Chains A and B, each alone.
Chain A
């Protein structure tokens, strides 16, 4: 965790709503690995910016984009290219 570097950012807790809409299950407790640096975090702990058209989630370790979520008219679109693995407890 770093101070100041991500000032004003939210965290992955705010993705609970749109991800829950898309997948029908709660995902903030799921673990994701950063494709750039392999750091593993729970979704709740990602650094998140609400950009308007959608949300951008960064790796708290290296700052690279892990996830982008856009809420379109009838779809939630996810760009998961920055995420190596998603582990969902069932």
Chain B
């Protein structure tokens, strides 16, 4: 049983909002990274979807910008227990990107510049649940927060929203990503508090 320090309140927290279990609402935007921040020029940026048969489709930055854009407003839930509500983004829906991709795969491994990976079911990227986003709060996405572009899958814990995303591997078998390999949950639903494997 932890010892309570009288008077300690910690970062501004608001318990009036309905949050997933164990989460605390914050108003700043913590920066957490698993390695050095990659600095990727949009001239060199590329996003590649590779299907289970090895077929590849690649989009350049110009290609991405030419696609229909959406401006989702979503809540973020980090496994380190902070939540940030009503964040605004601009980007391309995965429904648009995957529209013409032929695949029977059930799983995805998202890959990022710098080597980070994370896995999730393919169906969780579809039906308006996920985007490749390049603007946050009306400004180009900063490198520290995953710019030039990151994956955004807000119905799962934020470690699944891979910063600096540069591709998706569509797979018939689930393959654990960077944190999943160490025991984080393969799915990661904050509302069922699926932080660790077995939860």
Binding site for B on A (CB under 8 A): 5-9, 49-54, 56, 58, 63, 65, 68, 70, 72-73, 75, 77, 79
Given contacts A9-B36, A72-B196, A73-B196, contact A52 B183 (CB under 8 A): no
In the docked arrangement, what's the CA distance between A79 and B41, Å?
Answer: 32
Please tell me which one of the listed residues A6, A51, A72, A79 contacts residue B181 in the complex, with CB atoms under 8 A apart.
A79
A49→B35 contact, CB < 8 A: yes
In the docked arrangement, what's the CA distance between A52 and B179, Å?
Answer: 10
Query: What secondary structure prevails in chain A residues at the interface with B?
Result: loop
In the docked arrangement, what's the CA distance between A5 and B159, Å?
Answer: 24
The bracket for how many chain B residues form the interface is: 20 to 34
Can you list 5 A-B pairs, Cβ within 8 angstroms, ordered by A?
A: A8-B37, A53-B79, A68-B182, A72-B182, A77-B183
Look across to chain A and name the residue whose beta carbon is closest to the beta carbon of B196: A72
B36→A5 contact, CB < 8 A: yes
A73 CB to closest chain B CB (Å) equals 6
B35→A56 contact, CB < 8 A: yes
Look across to chain A and name the residue whose beta carbon is closest to the beta carbon of B78: A52
Please tell me which one of the listed residues A5, A9, A73, A79 contacts residue B182 in the complex, with CB atoms under 8 A apart.
A79
B115 partner residues in chain A, CB cutoff 8 A: 65
In the docked arrangement, what's the CA distance between A54 and B178, Å?
Answer: 11
Given contacts A68-B182, A70-B184, A73-B196, contact A52 B32 (CB under 8 A): yes
A54→B181 contact, CB < 8 A: no
B181 partner residues in chain A, CB cutoff 8 A: 68, 79
B30 partner residues in chain A, CB cutoff 8 A: 52
B66 at the interface (CB under 8 A from A): no
